Chains A and B, each alone.
Chain A
């Protein structure tokens, strides 16, 4: 019985003539003397022949034409991406397709969310290097944020600089950033301040800017940065003022009459300047051209 098992293990090599001489002789002698193995070996040969004799099949005559049409169809970039994803899913046979499809949908939703989410949410993923960069440069904000006089007196202070914005910002088509998206454009200097600062809209923003400079000495403030783009009708000004003067500055900007503050304010949010030390805050004010 043991011999029969060992002989059966040699059927493949023996059938194909790959056995060495000694094994071949041993198998032959065993087959001569063992009827069961002889019968078994016949069936082994029949099995191989039956598989080799299976019917021949041929592709359709227009196989090449069909293939060329398919290749042309899948050559467009969009279809190519779809095809790559499909191939990826097909190459994971152990994962049921519904799971693969659900995973893909999940990833798509996450990607969509990350791309379009408010920057305040995204900032949790910032690197140290980004944080350092932000600390040394004016922060960037996407949405237009304006201040109402009643809000500024109780303004909280941010301990961290504001986050950087996405590459594109909503734009209402009239020269102003807009929370109601009409189209998208690259951020301008007016967008480059954080949520902790002030936005001033004025029909004559140059006069508003001059007024600000006039106010600064009165409140022991100091101008630290100034970027003006006349062509775009916008300016960004950085100041350091005493914490206690924050409300005074905002009120003075309003009282000077040349400015209009809070035209499109976000009621639920308060400005929060970046604290420089215990007594001073750094504040960026953007001046934008109000519609005439």
Chain B
């Protein structure tokens, strides 16, 4: 089958991008290893550098699990504290970042369950939406047949968040890690101790559920 020019260009772009990503990822991993070694030798500043490097991403993951900045801050600090206490036991079987986000995911799942049991989300769910005055998004009058137009509105953000929060935990964490935080399938599989195939199929099912809920709310 002859390849057209567009396909060839796409392939070249993909290859260059993946090489660049692999290179930068490997470099980042080497940096982490050096910092961990320094920390093991008693240099606490090395741990601070690791925190500075990953705090934004850890905080973001935490926020996706709990949906509240104060809780996310507490959760992110808990994650780093656990990492600090256990870093001496880190054997380097996986990348430090994978290990760190594995802690973040586990703690995030547990915190979400904990807060849900205590009615945290039901008590505050509606009030959070009130500040933008768009409670009417449930009856969003969209008669266009072009769903892309909806992306510009804040309604869809609320609808997405609500739909994600209603997912069962096993599907929810994969959606958060892949579609919101952009981790690779390989990293997610390691973080969640799942085969890559299972990760993909769960993600697909989760997306389909979110999609149906979005359609229901927005159409």
- Give the interface of A toward B (CB within 8 A): 8-9, 11-13, 21, 39-40, 42-44, 46-60, 63-64, 66-68, 70-71, 74, 80, 87, 90-91, 93, 96-97
Q: Are B182 and A52 in contact (CB under 8 A)?
A: yes
Q: Which residues of A contact B150 (CB under 8 A)?
A: 46, 50
Please report the C-alpha to C-alpha distance between residue A42 and residue B219 in the assembled complex, in whole angstroms.
Answer: 14
* Chain B residue total in the interface (Cβ 8 A): 52
Q: Are A63 and B73 in contact (CB under 8 A)?
A: yes
Q: Which residues of A contact B76 (CB under 8 A)?
A: 59, 63
Q: Are B110 and A93 in contact (CB under 8 A)?
A: yes
Q: Which residues of A contact B156 (CB under 8 A)?
A: 46, 50
Q: Are B208 and A50 in contact (CB under 8 A)?
A: no
Interface centre among A9, A43, A49 (most CB of B within 10 A): A43
Q: Are A68 and B48 in contact (CB under 8 A)?
A: yes
Q: Which residue of A lies closest to B207 (CB)?
A: A47
Q: Which residues of A contact B25 (CB under 8 A)?
A: none
Q: Which residues of A contact B56 (CB under 8 A)?
A: 58-59
Q: Do A58 and B109 contact each other (CB < 8 Å), given the known contacts A46-B150, A52-B179, A67-B51?
A: no
Which of A12, A21, A47 lies in contact with B210, CB distance below 8 A? A47
> 6 nearest interchain CB pairs?
A59-B59, A12-B204, A51-B179, A47-B211, A93-B113, A46-B147
Q: Are A55 and B157 in contact (CB under 8 A)?
A: yes
Q: Which residues of B contact A12 (CB under 8 A)?
A: 200, 203-204, 207
Question: Within the complex, what minimum Cβ distance (angstroms) separates B120 from chain A?
Answer: 14
Q: Which residues of B contact A50 (CB under 8 A)?
A: 150-151, 156-157, 160, 214
Question: Within the complex, what minimum Cβ distance (angstroms) separates A286 from chain B?
Answer: 50
Instruction: Mark contacts of B106-134 with chain A using CB atoms, 8 A cut-off: 1 yes-contact digit, 0 otherwise.
Output: 11011101100100000000000000000
Question: Within the complex, what minimum Cβ distance (angstroms) separates A7 from chain B?
Answer: 12
Please report the C-alpha to C-alpha distance between residue A222 and residue B31 in the assembled complex, in whole angstroms.
Answer: 80
Does B97 have its Cβ within 8 Å of any Cβ on chain A?
no
- Between A and B, 22 residue pairs with Cβ closer than 8 Å are A11-B207, A11-B208, A40-B211, A42-B148, A47-B214, A51-B180, A54-B161, A56-B60, A58-B59, A59-B55, A59-B56, A59-B73, A59-B76, A63-B59, A64-B52, A64-B55, A68-B48, A74-B85, A87-B82, A90-B114, A91-B110, A93-B113
Please report the C-alpha to C-alpha distance between residue A71 and residue B109 in the assembled complex, in whole angstroms.
Answer: 22
Q: Are A11 and B204 in contact (CB under 8 A)?
A: yes
Please report the C-alpha to C-alpha distance between residue A21 and residue B2 in the assembled complex, in whole angstroms.
Answer: 13
Q: Which residues of A contact B106 (CB under 8 A)?
A: 91
Which of A47, A48, A55, A63 lies in contact with B55, CB distance below 8 A? A63
Question: Within the complex, what minimum Cβ distance (angstroms) separates B102 from chain A?
Answer: 13
Question: Within the complex, what minimum Cβ distance (angstroms) separates A87 from chain B?
Answer: 7
Q: Which residues of A contact B179 (CB under 8 A)?
A: 48, 51-52
Q: Are B211 and A44 in contact (CB under 8 A)?
A: yes
